[in-house]
Amino acid sequence: MFTQNETEHRLKQVGMPRHYAEVLGGIMGGVSQGVFMTPTQRLKTIVMTDPRMNAEKAEIKGVVNTSKALMILLKQEGIGSLFNGLGPMMAKRGMDWGLRFYFVGVARRAFQGEDKTRKLSMLENTTCAIIGGMGSTLTMPMDTLVANCQKSSAGGQSWIQVARGMWQIGGPNMFVKGWSMRALHASYHTVFMVAVGDKVYDLYKAL
């Protein structure tokens, strides 16, 4: 959120309209989030999917905690392996947050009508956030691709090779698995950020 807010603020200072500044700020915030999240997301995926991390199946017994998993991953595949899927992750996060702010802005302007200075109610803000969260699920194919790029079974394949393999296994449906849960997650996340965040900020200003 720091990157998003700072980018939006700087763009407004040079005269960019609010809705454009919000979307570009969202994109930049998402891209920076992708850089920082990729290593931890990669490690989480390895721990969940690599049989070496399951004590019952592992050839190396006792590999059950994250710190041991990290050491084995670094030793066997190098530090660069923590950034497997970085490109798709940055693209996905940038698109995700750009779309959220775009759809929130569209909904907000629709509620405001001709009076662009009118402050929205909590219910209106919540509705805008749900619309923004739902809109962000357009990145669902990227979500699925990133997750598959980071699985241990990917074996260092490029994202193009992973995508081709997914298509061969299940066609286009492979790229939208879990859409309903993704929509729920994105919506409540955006509600917390937009509706609750605005309310907290108003309370802070009133102090």
Alpha-carbon gap, residue 81 to 69, rounded angstroms: 13
Backbone angles phi, psi at 75, to 5 degrees: -70, -40
Between 58-67, 83-92, 187-196, the lowest mean confidence (pLDDT) is in 58-67
How much is the pLDDT for 60? 46
The stretch 143-153 carries a mean pLDDT of 74
Q: Environment class of residue 149 by beta-carbon count within 10 Å: exposed (0-12), middle (13-18) or buried (19+)? A: buried
The stretch 170-178 carries a mean pLDDT of 83
Do residues 90 and 35 touch, judged by C-beta distance below 8 A? yes
How much is the pLDDT for 152? 59
* Dihedral (CA of 106, 111, 115, 119) sign: negative
Structure tokens of 3?
Answer: 């990157």
In the chain the beta strands, taken as DSSP E runs, fall at none
The stretch 111-130 carries a mean pLDDT of 88
How much is the pLDDT for 107? 93
